[in-house]
Chain A
């Protein structure tokens, strides 16, 4: 596969469930990102990893827990979510965030519904 892939594409979970979102990039990039996309709101940057180190946590609630085991994989662990967490979760990667005006490459997203 090429580019950025995300699994699953759709997820429905109850508020007491624990689930994980997976992102994989095949571009040789060093930086990876999680975004939340909700209707009529700007994309919200959640987390940034650069060379596997978390460099940004945008005041995200602790019920979202990221994990970056290597520069090709990024996970978002979910537990005890709220209905307002229902959204499209997008993963992106870029060459190296310190290099300046990086282009970001996005995956297709995971559509999450919390019941």
Chain B
């Protein structure tokens, strides 16, 4: 079945460091791909998404490119801030189904 694998955390970085959080997926069809972020005490909120191969999603300085050849959707940010500390979830959704498949989440901690 469909699945999402993301790197184990926690990831600890200094402010202004470069961030990469890896995400790979398996899917039978042509899914849409998402990154959600969860701040402490809150629910998940959409960070960015891409609906087809080679699409790049971007928001708040974060970017991810839908790579069909490597089945990947890695999250990147050039310069992280303390306020980016949160848990990041990679997810996929197949059109025509009701299922959303989430990864286990990667906790990011940014130190001042």
B85 to chain A, nearest CB (A): 18
List chain A residues, Cβ under 8 A from B49. 101, 103
Q: What total of A-B pairs shows CB separation below 8 Å?
A: 57
With contacts A100-B32, A106-B43, A108-B43 taken as known, whether A45 is within 8 angstroms of B89 at the C-beta atoms is: no
Using a Cβ–Cβ cut-off of 8 Å, how many residues does chain A contribute to the interface with B? 27
A42:B101 contact, CB within 8 angstroms: yes
Q: Is the CB of B93 within 8 A of A45?
A: no
> Secondary structure of the B side of the interface?
strand
Q: Is B102 an interface residue (CB 8 A)?
A: yes
- The answer to whether residues A108 and B98 also contact, given A41-B104, A43-B89, A103-B49 and a CB cut-off of 8 A, is no
- Which residues of the partner chain A approach B95 to less than 8 Å between Cβ atoms? 100-101
B4 at the interface (CB under 8 A from A): yes
A residues with CB within 8 A of B: 4, 6, 31, 33, 40-43, 45, 48, 50, 55-56, 90, 92, 97-98, 100-109
